[in-house]
Chains A and B, each alone.
Chain A
Amino acid sequence: MSVYLYDGSFEGFLTLIYQSYYQKKPALKIIKDKKEIGLLDEVIEITTDAKRAEKVHQSLKEKFETKNYNKIFHTFLCNEREFEKALYDFIVIGFKNQKNLANINHPSIHYLEKLEHEYFRYVHKMYGFVRFEELEDEMLYAKIESKFNILPFLGKHFSKRLDGCDFIIHDTKRELAYTNGIIHQVADFETPTLSENEAKFQKLWKLFFEKVSIKERKNPKLQQNWVPLLYRKYMTEFID
């Protein structure tokens, strides 16, 4: 049983799987930061190796059912959370027998199932809460600050809805942006100029939002359950 140290990348993780399998040293703990090393830990440091990673990737593709294969990627998009050990267990169990991956009594499998569920709930909420602004060249621009990396799903979702319109979704926390099917790194960014009509429609939307609420049934607590303050930062109707 050993403690593995890897660089936090997906390839690094796959290299780790490769190494622990061939050296027959199952991982007890997986960390990506040297500060987490304990006093008595026997640490194995992983040097990311693209070739080995690709090999593991290929066999994941062959051996894992699509649903389970996708789950590995979805988990990696939640890298704000601790997931390495659970994902490691998941992959080890999966290589032995795909059927056992449905056993939600196993703590790691259950953990990943819950994490994936949380991720998609979050994605679904953000499908509704993202707000675009029209720029002077008719481009639509949205800023988000999200707890998970959801750009791949947002991008896919909005390219279906806004077919024929140019749009950017900018993740300010991760400094990433989605345009035309590609996710880019964004180093620095100038505040764009809004179109003439933008202020008018924002005002109309705020007006509508105010008018549809029924005063006799006012319930701000319920509202906050549905739209926690955290989400409101870039939502037009909550900005004064």
Chain B
Amino acid sequence: MDIYQKLAILSDSAKYDVSCSSSGAESNFQKGMIGCNEKSGICHTFTEDGRCVSLLKVLFTNFCIYDCSYCINRQSNDIKRAAFSARELADLTLNFYKRNYIEGLFLSSGILESEDKTMELLIKAVEILRFEYRFNGYIHLKLIPGASQHLIEKACQLATRVSSNLELPSSKSLQLLAPDKTQKNLMQPLKYAKDFSLKNRNKPIPMTTQLIIGATPESDFDILKLSSNLYNKALLKRIYYSAYIPTNDDKNLPSVNTTPPTVREHRLYQADWLLRFYGFSYNEILDKRENLDLDFDPKMIWALEHLELFPVEVNHADKEFLIRIPGIGIRGAHKILKARRFQNLSFENLKKLGISLKRAKYFITIRGKYFGEKQFYPEYIKRALTKPKKKGFYQPSLFDTFIPAVTGEL
């Protein structure tokens, strides 16, 4: 099998792993080495489905001894299988990096023979890159659940970031769909990695995980509660949510014809942002409901359900509250804070600063004046927000009246 076929198979099977960010890695320039991380992360291209490509995301192999129902690479699936050699993979990464196609490598794998064997293979490829090719760029390594502690520790030394996917939000679902995995078993490598990196570096190695959404019956509340706990324990830097795309026909899974719940995925990401950057807690976001609203974003819903706190005066509100106003984000809040040091802001001032007032105007007063709906009730505001855009003059057409007249549908 040549390298083209291998790459085709192994990148095809890795694409469902959504994580592809390289952001947050400190700049680490070293003389004489190739590669340097960029704090803000860089997108090198965007795929047809509009996702950023930042890393060479491949599986080392798609052979697997496990049989998880949701996974395309499960043992019982009849698909083409391939495996890279460590050298091939290292060459590919280095050459892609030099041409500025990628920020680095994202390496995951199916389980070949045993967990330890697989982890060793991944480590070998990374060792060639780091020591032989003197590659200093970003490397994200998947920790293999069930691999021995010393191998996990070795992986942490070599990689910029590590991760282990929790896959499903509860142990019950896991038992049903992935009988070879348990939540404890999936968390284990993350714990090893945390302990090890705390011992050897001053801060923990950044870790991420991924949850599959929509394959099992958990509510958004359950999911956000889990996420929030993981963030609070400082175990994880980032959690990815992946709308379940049916790949296998299985009695325990949604039918192959279901469309992926992408809107729900989007809302979960928004809620996740609120947890991480906006100072919300999970039970604030979902205090009156089980699931996130699909029509409105979570911040908007929170504001609508807490109208007693609004409208708030933009010229006086503190930063913590400014960022909670729908339509005003972190950047907008900073602009307001900066500008109001010099003067009391008017509606015009805010517009000139480029603050979007389309949604914010229902929740704020500007110099004491309110610019939103007359009726300050959630229903009215919701209606105003979803009101269709006014169209221009309507040009009546001859046929508009003509056809119903003929068919007698007047």
Residue ranges of A at the interface with B (Cβ–Cβ < 8 Å):
100, 102-105, 107, 110, 114, 124, 127-134, 140, 142, 157-158, 160-165, 197, 201, 203-205, 207-209, 211-223, 225-227, 235-237
Contact = CB atoms under 8 A, between A and B. Distances in A.
14 contacts: A102-B338, A104-B339, A105-B343, A105-B353, A107-B352, A163-B32, A201-B96, A207-B7, A209-B53, A212-B12, A216-B259, A217-B245, A217-B262, A236-B99
B34 A161 contact: yes
Contacts of A114: 354
Interface string B1-30: 001100110011011100000000001011
Interface stretch (B40-48, B211-219, B268-276, B386-394): B40-48
Nearest to B16: A214
B267 interface: no
Given A204-B4, A209-B45, A216-B245, A110 B353 contact: yes
B137 A161 contact: yes
B34 A165 contact: yes
Nearest to B54: A128
A104 B49 contact: no
Contact of B50 (A124, A212, A222): A222
B399 to A, nearest CB: 31
Contacts of B232: none
Contacts of B7: 204, 207-208, 211
Nearest to A138: B98
B44 A216 contact: no
Interface of B: 3-4, 7-8, 11-12, 14-16, 27, 29-36, 38, 40, 42-54, 56-58, 92, 95-101, 137, 245, 259-260, 262, 335, 338-339, 341-343, 345, 349, 352-354
Contacts of B353: 104-105, 110
A130 B45 CA distance: 10
A214 B49 contact: yes
B49 A222 contact: yes
A154 to B, nearest CB: 10
Contacts of A222: 46, 49-50
Contacts of A133: 99
Contact of A223 (B48, B95, B352): B48
Nearest to B53: A212
Contacts of B343: 105
Given A105-B342, A212-B14, A215-B49, 10 more contacts: A105-B349, A107-B352, A160-B27, A161-B137, A163-B32, A208-B56, A211-B7, A213-B15, A219-B48, A226-B50
Contact of A132 (B98, B260, B345): B98
A163 B46 CA distance: 27
A187 to B, nearest CB: 26
Contact of B45 (A140, A203, A218, A235): A235
Contacts of A236: 99, 101
Given A128-B43, A226-B46, A212 B98 contact: no
A211 B15 contact: yes
Given A130-B100, A236-B101, A204 B49 contact: no
Contacts of B53: 209, 212
A15 B12 CA distance: 60
A223 to B, nearest CB: 5
Q: Which 5 A-B pairs have the closest CB atoms?
A: A222-B50, A213-B47, A217-B49, A226-B46, A213-B48
Given A128-B45, A218-B49, A223-B50, A205 B34 contact: no
A203 B224 CA distance: 42
B260 A226 contact: no
Nearest to B342: A103
Contacts of B101: 131, 205, 236
Nearest to B345: A105
B47 A212 contact: yes
B46 A162 contact: no
B98 A104 contact: no
A204 B91 CA distance: 12
Given A124-B42, A128-B42, A235-B45, A134 B99 contact: yes
B46 A218 contact: no
A77 to B, nearest CB: 20
A3 B51 CA distance: 49
Given A105-B339, A105-B343, A204-B92, A220 B100 contact: no
A114 B331 CA distance: 13
Interface centre among B31, B53, B260 (most CB of A within 10 A): B53
A184 B97 CA distance: 26
A203 to B, nearest CB: 7
Interface centre among A128, A213, A227 (most CB of B within 10 A): A128
A162 B50 CA distance: 28
A115 B158 CA distance: 40
A203 B54 CA distance: 18
A58 B104 CA distance: 43
Given A128-B43, A129-B45, A142-B100, A160 B95 contact: no
